[in-house]
Amino acid sequence: MSKRAGHMNLLAMINNGGHHLAAWQHPKGQAGAGLNIQNYTHIAQVAEKGLLDAVFIADVVALWGQDLEALTRTSRGEHYEPLTLLSYLAGATQHIGLIATATTSYNEPYHIARKFASLDHLSGGRAGWNVVTSVVGAEARNFGRDAHYLHNERYERAEEFVDVVRKLWQSWEEGAVIKDTKNSQYFIPEKVKNIHYKGKHFSVEGPLNISRTPQGEPVLVQAGASESGKRLAARIAEVIFSPHDDIKAAKKYYHDIKTTASQFGRTKESIRILPGITPVVGKTRQEARDFF
């Protein structure tokens, strides 16, 4: 993502029926969208044509809500697995970034490192990982737990998880793959190294079974709001989503993130903080109002 002074970064968050819970019912909206891949493709291509930086897919690994009766009035009862969806969109676009959500609570570092490295290769260096720790209770029960990890443990695990993933991404050095047919050598073994990682939550030998990605590392994205979440975001994220709609709260959040980032030896310019908005678009102001 561009970080030029004065340059605004814009991302599009894609939901299968629109962001508003009832958007799928709007007569001019996406009533028939659902899992229609052409709808996702159209949005991604329009966003790319409009020079947006990336499309973003949110996710939970469970039904997005507990009340089935309430869910029947929304389009949130079903949604694509993000990496699968973005792998498809990689082939339907050329330049726009592709950001997928994946949880550190119910995955393993090797899986995540491999999948996002694959997406980065497939897309020519356009992959981003939105790092989450999971919030929906049903996610825990879908993975053999009665409840989530405790809040602080979730974020402690997440920090270690990201560290391991990044070590795996770096386990293939630049230029390791040479494809030397004359000497029958595909890669240089000295440039591929085990990571020998042993920590509190993970033990991973490595190396990764796919080479260094076009970006070196996919972009890391986060949306931490709690103290633990803000610490994680300040430590690892290049892009942070901010949910604040109050300017005073937004300024405090911005200050907290940038200050904490400097404590980790990061420059303030290394992080882009992007507030969320829900635009209503029309050819004129009145048309937009009428649509809304």
CATH number at residue 98: 3.20.20.30
pLDDT digits (tens, 9 = 90+) for 173-182: 999 999 999 9
Residue 1 forms part of a structural domain: no
| Distance of alpha carbon 123 from alpha carbon 119, whole angstroms | 6
Structural domain contains residue 235:
yes
Residues 6+ apart with CB under 8 A from 192: 171, 172, 173, 176, 207
User: What radius of gyration, in Å, describes the C-alpha atoms of the chain?
Assistant: 20
Q: Is residue 246 part of a domain?
A: yes
Answer yes or no: is 37 within a domain: yes
- Residue 209: the pLDDT is 98
Q: What's the whole-number average pLDDT of the chain?
A: 91
Please tell me the predicted confidence (pLDDT) of residue 243: 78
Quote the pTM value: 0.92
Residue 96 lies in a domain: yes
| 132 part of a folded domain | yes
Give Cβ neighbours of residue 249 (< 8 Å, ≥ 6 apart). none
Least confident of 26-35, 77-86, 191-200: 26-35
269 in a domain, yes or no?
yes
Question: 214 preceded by cis ω (within 30°)?
Answer: no
In a domain, 191, yes or no: no
Structure tokens at 215: 């970006």
Identify the H or E element spanning 111: helix 109-123
**What pLDDT is stored for residue 186 in this prediction?**
97
User: In the prediction, which pLDDT does 2 show?
Assistant: 52
Q: Is 227 left (phi over 0), alpha (psi -120 to 50) or beta?
A: alpha
> Which of 2-6, 26-30, 246-250, 260-264 is least confident?
2-6
Burial (CB < 10 A; 0-12, 13-18, 19+), residue 41, is: middle
Q: What pLDDT is attached to residue 166?
A: 98
For residues 223-250, give the mean pLDDT.
90
Distance CA 23, CA 44 (A): 18
Q: How many domains does the chain have?
A: 1
| pLDDT on residue 289 | 86
pLDDT at 32 over 70: no
Q: With 80 as the cut, is the pLDDT of residue 118 above it?
A: yes
Can you give the residue range of the structural domain that contains 263? Answer: 11-171+208-291
Confidence of residue 4 (pLDDT cuts 50, 70, 90): low
Please check whether residue 159 is in contact with residue 228, taking contact to mean a CB–CB distance below 8 angstroms.
no
Cα(35)–Cα(290) distance, rounded to whole angstroms? 27
User: Tell me: the pLDDT tens digits for 125-153?
Assistant: 999 999 999 988 899 999 999 999 999 99
Average pLDDT, stretch 236-259?
A: 91
Q: Is 192 helix (H, G, I), strand (E, B) or coil?
A: strand
Instruction: Find the helix or strand (DSSP H, E) in which 45 lies.
Output: helix 37-49
Q: What is the mean pLDDT of residues 109-132?
A: 98
**Amino acid 17: pLDDT:** 77
The per-residue pLDDT for 1 is 54
Query: DSSP assignment, residue 216?
Result: B
The answer to whether the beta carbons of residues 216 and 203 sit under 8 Å apart is no
pLDDT at 291 over 70: yes
Q: What angle do CA 237, 238, 240 make, to 5 degrees?
A: 70
pLDDT 10s digits, 182-212: 999 999 999 999 999 999 999 999 999 999 9
Between helices 82-92 and 109-123, what is the axis angle to 10°?
10
